[in-house]
């Protein structure tokens, strides 16, 4: 299982969705910090803090509020789809 992707309940979508871990592009922020003579470092630090506070993002709607306790998981979801298709 890929640790950067996880199934979870999305309250915005009102059903299980795949969540991806938000990454900070440090190369981009380094270049921007050098181009703006250090001013961009404020944005860089806020991006790092934002990733720590809300590390997961819904792939469908972009929500940052997953509920992993209500997740049914991909395996259960596939089994449910197979059962519906087989009947």
Binding site for Zn ion (CB under 5 A): 10, 12-13, 17, 58, 60-61, 63
- Residue 63 or 71 having the CB closest to Zn ion: 63
- Residue 56 or 58 having the CB closest to Zn ion: 58
CA distances from 21 to 7, 14, 15, 18, 79 (A): 11, 20, 19, 10, 25
Nearest to 32 by CA among 49, 46, 51, 50: 46
Least spacing, CB of residue 75 vs Zn ion, in Å: 20
Q: How far apart are the first and last CA of the chain?
A: 30
Residue 15 CA, distance from chain mean position: 15
Least spacing, CB of residue 14 vs Zn ion, in Å: 8
Least spacing, CB of residue 23 vs Zn ion, in Å: 19
- Residue 29 or 64 having the CB closest to Zn ion: 64
């Amino acid at each position: 299982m890929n640790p950067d992707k996880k199934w979870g309940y999305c309250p915005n979508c009102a059903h299980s969705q795949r969540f991806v871990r938000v990454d900070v592009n440090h190369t981009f922020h380094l270049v921007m910090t050098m181009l703006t003579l250090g001013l961009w470092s404020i944005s860089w630090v806020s991006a790092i803090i934002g990733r720590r506070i809300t590390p997961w993002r819904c792939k469908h709607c972009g929500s940052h509020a997953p509920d992993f306790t209500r997740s049914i998981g991909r395996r259960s979801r596939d089994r449910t789809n197979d059962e519906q298709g087989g009947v």
